[in-house]
Structure 1
Amino acid sequence: MHQQIPIRRGQGFVCRQTPSPAHAGNITPSHYAMELNDVFGDAIYTCRLQLRRIRETDLPLLLTWSNCQEAFGPYLTPERQNAERLKEQFATNLFWNRHDKTLLIETRNPVRPIGTIHYWLKPDQLGCAVVAVKIATAEQRGCGYGTEAQKFLIIQLFDQVGVTQVEMYTDIDNKAQQRCLAKLGFSVDRSLTYGDHGVTRTGHLYRLTRKAFQRAAIYRYHYE
């Protein structure tokens, strides 16, 4: 049985509303530069998760994750940040600015941080968002949290920010993420090598266009 649900933001609910073709055709780069809190507040709430803006009190946890291979798993490279650099990034809004935002992923019951999801608009193509997700607690992998986080961020990117496509990169051996992206309506654009914090990886570039987003049932319904 399909149950259609609204997407909740910090104050009340935001129901999905797909822009009309005429509206989508008139979107200008300034629309893509909207502040995230102008669009859906400081958090996105799903049935099981909240994706929220990073606070200064989160920095010690991010530092721990940044230097822990287990937090990144076998297909991502640790960033190896230091405390001073993280504080500088936070102070200069590198986690939350017009074109680039990182959100902490937390379970809602109980409230527990389990990872991050990050998107940025390509400088030469502001209508294209690149998304990266990390479930940092190994015991929470395989529970569908990554899929859920990606799904609801993608909905906001298309319906509220107004992007025309979303891209994601994944290691060629990361079969779980590849299955997730297929479920979310992505298709393989091409195979390539890419840099990951000093490590050269072979992988796939996946792309979700607005047309594919609009026809994918997973974005119209929540499956209980």
Structure 2
Amino acid sequence: MIRGEKVCLRPVRRSDLAILHERANEVDFEGEYNYFGLHRDQHLLSGFEADGLLGSEFGTLIVTTLNDQFIGSMSYHPVRYGPNIASSHYNIGISLDPEQRGKGYGVEAQQLLADYLFRIYPVGRVEATTDITNIPEQRALEKAGFTREGVLRQAQWRNGQMHDMVQYSKIRGE
């Protein structure tokens, strides 16, 4: 478990799968910026059985309060900017229950996950992207120590149209 001052990040437990499956199809939980359509039932089970959803190719962690109350989830996946392994980095994402947003939980969770990835994997950067209109998440990433790099024009298809995204990164040692 990764413990902060407000939140903890922990591996997915078998008992979490039901809530993750339920929330995956709830637009309110995913929010307008993370909803990409319906998921099939039990879509996480094979990944959980294979590696507990903590692989180097894709990982999911549960975000909880300090007393282990579920408040959301985070994920990470590799991105590559060249053919060699040293050009691999991680992109992170977060989904919080709507009533838990705006309390600083996302800021701390993103700091904790970036620090964890730098400790465990030989990557030079951790990045995150968010919709250009998602001002609360842009503020959260900046408070978490990420630097705004620029706009990725028409980079994401969501809700029937293309959206501009803002890219942020945190470099090892920052």
Aligned match of 1:133 = 94
| TM-score of the aligned structures, taking structure 1 as reference length | 0.67
Aligned match of 1:206 = 168
Q: Please give the alpha-carbon distance, in whole angstroms, between the structure 1 residues aligned to 2:64 and 2:156.
A: 28
Work out whether 1:119 is the aligned partner of 2:76.
yes
1:129 positional shift: 0.9
Aligned match of 2:11 = 53
Q: Please give the alpha-carbon distance, in whole angstroms, between the structure 2 residues aligned to 1:122 and 1:94.
A: 21
Q: Deviations over 1:165-222 (max 9, x none)?
A: 11111001100111122221322233322335775322112222235x1xxxxxxxxx
Q: Please give the alpha-carbon distance, in whole angstroms, between the structure 2 residues aligned to 1:95 and 1:113.
A: 17
Q: Deviations over 1:136-163 (max 9, x none)?
A: x111100000000000111122234231
Q: Is the 8 A contact 1:107 1:113 kept in 2?
A: yes
- Indicate the percent of aligned positions where both proteins have the same amino acid: 27
Q: What is the number of equivalent residue pairs in this alignment?
A: 168
Among 175, 190, 200, the residue aligned to 2:151: 190
Among 106, 117, 129, the residue aligned to 1:157: 117
Q: Please give the alpha-carbon distance, in whole angstroms, between the structure 2 residues aligned to 1:115 and 1:68.
A: 13
1:132 positional shift: 0.7
For residue 50 of structure 1, give the secondary structure of its aligned residue in structure 2.
strand
Aligned match of 1:9 = none
Q: Please give the alpha-carbon distance, in whole angstroms, between the structure 2 residues aligned to 1:185 and 1:51.
A: 19
Q: Deviations over 1:27-78 (max 9, x none)?
A: xxxxxxxxxxxxxxxx211122111111221111011110101001222215
Change (3 A) 1:197 1:57: farther
Moved more, 172-181 or 70-79: 70-79
Change (3 A) 1:171 1:182: same
Q: CA RMSD in A?
A: 2.2
Moved more, 55-64 or 122-131: 122-131
Q: Deviations over 1:107-158 (max 9, x none)?
A: 113x2101111112225555411111111x1111000000000001111222
Q: Please give the alpha-carbon distance, in whole angstroms, between the structure 2 residues aligned to 1:89 and 1:67.
A: 18
For residue 166 of structure 2, give the secondary structure of its aligned residue in structure 1.
strand
Question: One-letter code of the match for 2:49?
Answer: A
Alignment of 1:90-105 (within 5 A): 90-93=48-51, 95-105=53-63
Q: Please give the alpha-carbon distance, in whole angstroms, between the structure 1 residues aligned to 2:168 and 2:22.
A: 29
Q: Is the 8 A contact 2:110 2:141 kept in 1?
A: no
Change (3 A) 1:84 1:178: closer
For residue 168 of structure 1, give the secondary structure of its aligned residue in structure 2.
strand
Q: Is the 8 A contact 1:66 1:78 kept in 2?
A: no
- Structure 1: unaligned runs, 5 residues or longer: 1-42, 214-224
Aligned match of 2:129 = 169
For residue 54 of structure 2, give the secondary structure of its aligned residue in structure 1.
coil
